[in-house]
Amino acid sequence: MEYMYNELLKTSGLSVTQQRLSILNALSNFNQPATIEQLAQTIDIHINTSTIYRSLRVLVDAGIVYQTDFRDGVSYFEFQEDHHHHVVCTSCGKQERIDVCIGTHVPKIEKSTGYTITNHMLEFFGLCKNCS
């Protein structure tokens, strides 16, 4: 497991540090997007908050971690490989997973813009059954 993350970092050209390994390990304990605060509570060693922020940015930019936003003022993070999207109720905040895939658009966009796309962000907002 640890070894896996080790390879993951190296393959992306990133330095392998204990902090990054621990962050990845903590991420694997969530099956939904986690906030920085939630991650900090789960990480097995003490890591300074700034470091968590900096590490996550690097991991997101490398396409290893998925970052998203539910319009509640905090960033959420999830493993890229099993990331998924949500509908969020703008009234009560309730979230529900959906299995909409947007990945098929990526090659087309890369071709038309010349960008190398490492990740994306997709969330739907509206009113849930109760709040409607």
28, 38, 42, 51: which one binds DNA (CB under 7 A): 51
**What residues between 16 and 75 interact with its own copies by CB under 8 A?**
60-61, 67, 69, 71, 75
Residue position matching structure tokens 């998203």: 68
Supply the Cα-derived Rg of the chain in whole angstroms.
16
Identify which of residues 15 and 112 has a Cβ nearer to its own copies in the complex: 112
CA–CA distance, 10 with 6 (Å, rounded to integer):
6
CB 55 within 8 A of CB 20: yes
Closest CA to 40 of 23, 54, 17: 23
C-beta separation of 74 from 38 below 8 A: no
Quote the CA–CA distance of 129 and 91 in Å, as a whole number. Answer: 11
* 66 touching DNA, by CB under 7 A: no
Site string for DNA, 13-32 (x = CB under 7 A): -xxxxxxx------------
Return the one option of its own copies, DNA, none that residue 47 interacts with (CB less than 5 to 8 A, by type): DNA
Within 10 Å of residue 84's Cβ, how many Cβ atoms? 16
Binding mask of the shown chain, residues 101 to 120, with x at each position contacting its own copies by CB under 8 A: -x--xx-xxx-xxxxxxxxx
- 57 in contact with DNA (CB under 7 A): yes
Footprint of its own copies (CB under 8 A): 60-61, 67, 69, 71, 75, 87, 89-91, 96, 98, 100, 102, 105-106, 108-110, 112-129, 132
